[in-house]
Structures are given as structure tokens and as C-alpha cells.
Amino acid sequence: MPPTKIDYKRELESASKGMVLIHDHRLLIKLIVRSLVQKVRIQHAGMILYNPDRDSYVLSISRGGIGERIPEGLIRFNKTNPLIKLFIQKEYKYIFENRNAIVAEDINKLLWKESVISNGNGTKQLLHNVSEQLPKLNAVACVPAYYQHMLMAILLLGEKQDGARFDQEELNFFSALASDVAIAIRNAQLFEGLKKEAERNRNLFIQTTIALGSAIEAKDIYTHGHTERVTKYALAIGRRMEAAKSYVFPYKFFENLYISGLLHDIGKIGVPEAILSKQDKLTAEEYEIMKSHTTRGAEILSSLTGFEEVINGVQYHHERYDGQGYPDGLKGEDIPMIAAIIAVADTFDAMTTDRPYRKGLSKDEAIIEIQQCVNKQFHHKPVEALVELYNKGEI
């Protein structure tokens, strides 16, 4: 009984839909290659993919029966490789343009053509080298996949299980499929490039944040090391809350907590040094200026997009659970958790640090005082986490 004829148009439409739904181009290609082996009934199929980082090509996917598969990643091709040269150099394009592919049996016919033999650009030797290379790749046909004239991949097709040759309808299907694959690969590469660029920008921002934190401390000589300690305490408190499952944190919370901890006092850049370094009690007017560092900090960071949680920590870390804090008098659960955590960490460090006008408390004394302020000045969950960390000797 003859095999069921494949509806290539429907198969191409199905594959195209899959490319839209699947964003991982390697997974997509694996599914396509496996489908080719099963539906077209070929002994082996593979895909050579372009690696932009190395500006070379690698056999990335190989599917087929026992003894047909080639270890993935084993074979790499530079741009001087005969098969790659055939598809990337314009002078050879006429060889496969009409068929949309290179087929092993066609190569043997081409080698006897007078136009090829007399050609001075080394075409005959190139085709001879390709004909020797195809069996090593378990392929009898190769289909290039281009994106705007850039070779993104080569689809390798092994022999059909029934020994029949590939007809032009099949080669046209493979060519159309390869074009869609090339677009999917390029889109994936562009997406990865954007991700890397975003990560570089984020790392640069964090480095700038650390530098700003140092600038804050350089201006306020009495809080040397304060920013780093507050950040360390805040992260420890947050992690303890997470481990105890007392609070469910959103995505990237701890990265934002780290940045917010480093920048929680950035607004002090706008506070006169005479006030920051004053050893006596601040006047009411001076205290109002000092309090403005929360809103000043938020204003400094307001132009940043995607850092709303960071800004919340900077702006509200002096709010109180009972609503008596500043700048907005937020109360209870209205205070963002990032700010509630920084508030506890900030107070603990301030209480246990020596100042010119007073000696710092012991950690024992500070813990007792902070516990007495639960649900008055502080949210109970960060305080509970702080106490647990202290009891375990982790702070």
C-alpha cells in the first residue's frame, strides 16, 4: 500500500503557526526536524545553525534512526567550508537557485557540465568537496535558510526510507519551511540581543547605584558604612520572611530591595552638610529639611521606568505603621513592604551605631526596643524576621 501523500501546503501552515506560538527557536527546530523524519519518512534530518557569537556554523540538531544521528555540536563549520561557501558566496547561487536546494545526484550531473568544468572560479572542485561532505552528514539534500541574504541555517535531509528521490514540490516545501525557520532564528537572536543589552544596562545602573551610595556616605561622615549595612540587613530580613513564608514577594523584589537599600538616603545629597553633620539637636526647621530627603530621593529617581518598587522604598522608609511617619503619613498595610523592611533595617543600624553625640546600643537593647515598637512604628513581619535572625546569630 503506497504511503499517504503529504499535503505540504497544510504542513507549512501548521509549522508557521507553531513558529508563532513557540519562542524558543531551538525547541522549534527540534520539533520540525523530528516531524520531517516521521512524516516525510527520511532516515535522517538535521540542522546546521549560524552562531553569531563565533561567526561560524554548527550542526545543532540531528534526528533519525540508530546509526544515523550525529552528535549535536560535534561538527563546526567556518565560512571557508565548501558547503558553507556554496550557500554564502554569490557566484555559486546559480547552482541551486532553480531547485532551492542542493541534491547529491544533481551535483554529479553538474560536475560533467561544460560550463562548470570550464569555470575558472573553482566551482568544480567546490562541488566535488561538497559531494564528499554530504555522506559524512548523512544527507542527500541540503536546503539553505536565509534572512535578508544572510545564511541562518542549512536543513540536512537524509535518504527517504523507500529510496525515492525528492521531487520539486517537496524541495519547494522545504525551502519555504527553511525561510520561516530563518525568520524565527533571527527574531530569537534579536530578542536575545535585547535581553543582553537590557542586562548590561541594568548592571551599569546597579554599579552607578553603588557609586551614588558611596557619594551619600561621603557627604554624611557620621553614617560611614550605614548604607551597606542597611542593605545587608534588609536583604537578610526579606530572605528570612521568604523562608518563613510569612510574605509572598513579587518578581525581582530582592533585586529592587538591594537597589532601594543602597539608595534609601540618596535624597540627602540635597540636604545641606551643616544639617547632616550637626552634632546638636536639630531645630524644627532643620528637621523639616532633613525629612525632605525621602521626597527628594524619590524625585531624583522619578525619571527611571520600571523602578517603581525601588522608589517606594526610598520615599516611604520613614513611614510608621501607626500613621505618624513621613512624608505622607501612610498607615498599616498601605506602607509598601519594601519600605517597611528598610525601615526596620535602617533603625536597627542607627540604634547600634556610635555617633559623636551618643554611643550606640547593644544589639540586645536595640532588638528589645524595636520589638516594643511593633505595630506602632514598625510592621510586625519584618520585626519578627529580624528577631529570628538575631536569635540565630545571623546578624
Taking each helix axis from N to C end, the angle separating 337-351 and 226-243, rounded to the nearest 10 degrees, works out to 130
Per-residue confidence (pLDDT) for residue 219, from 0 to 100: 63
Domain ranges of the chain: 8-189, 200-391
The pLDDT tens digits for 144-167 are: 888 888 888 888 888 888 888 888
User: What does the pLDDT average to over 364-383?
Assistant: 95
How far is the C-alpha of 118 from the C-alpha of 113, rounded, in Å?
A: 9
Taking each helix axis from N to C end, the angle separating 253-263 and 308-316, rounded to the nearest 10 degrees, works out to 40
How far is the C-alpha of 236 from the C-alpha of 141, rounded, in Å?
A: 60
How far is the C-alpha of 281 from the C-alpha of 295, rounded, in Å?
A: 22
Whole-number mean pLDDT of the chain?
82
Q: Is 111 in contact with 98 (CB distance < 8 Å)? A: no
The x, y and z cell numbers of residue 363, run together, are 544589639
How far is the C-alpha of 85 from the C-alpha of 79, rounded, in Å?
A: 6
How far is the C-alpha of 32 from the C-alpha of 20, rounded, in Å?
A: 13
Q: Is 280 in contact with 296 (CB distance < 8 Å)? A: no
pLDDT of residue 188 exceeding 80:
no
Q: What is the CATH number of domain 200-391?
A: 1.10.3210.10
pLDDT > 90: what percent of the chain? 31
Q: Is there a common fold for 8-189 and 200-391?
A: no
How far is the C-alpha of 301 from the C-alpha of 315, rounded, in Å?
A: 10
Q: Which CATH architecture has domain 8-189?
A: 2-Layer Sandwich (3.30)
> Around Cβ 134, how many Cβ atoms within 10 Å?
19
> Around Cβ 285, how many Cβ atoms within 10 Å?
9
Q: How far is CA 20 from CA 35, 51, 147, in A?
A: 17, 22, 17
Which residues contact residue 286 at a Cβ distance below 8 angstroms, ignoring those fewer than 6 apart?
Answer: 275, 278
pLDDT > 70: what percent of the chain? 84
The x, y and z cell numbers of residue 175, run together, are 525551502
Per-residue confidence (pLDDT) for residue 1, from 0 to 100: 43
pLDDT of residue 100 exceeding 90:
no
Q: Is 338 in contact with 313 (CB distance < 8 Å)? A: yes
Q: How confident is the model at residue 301 (pLDDT cuts 50, 70, 90)?
A: confident
Per-residue confidence (pLDDT) for residue 357, from 0 to 100: 65
Taking each helix axis from N to C end, the angle separating 253-263 and 226-243, rounded to the nearest 10 degrees, works out to 160
Q: Which residues of 202-213 are buried (b: 16+ CB within 10 A; e: fewer)?
A: eeeeeeebbebb
Q: How far is CA 103 from CA 97, 143, 206, 383, in A?
A: 12, 9, 54, 73
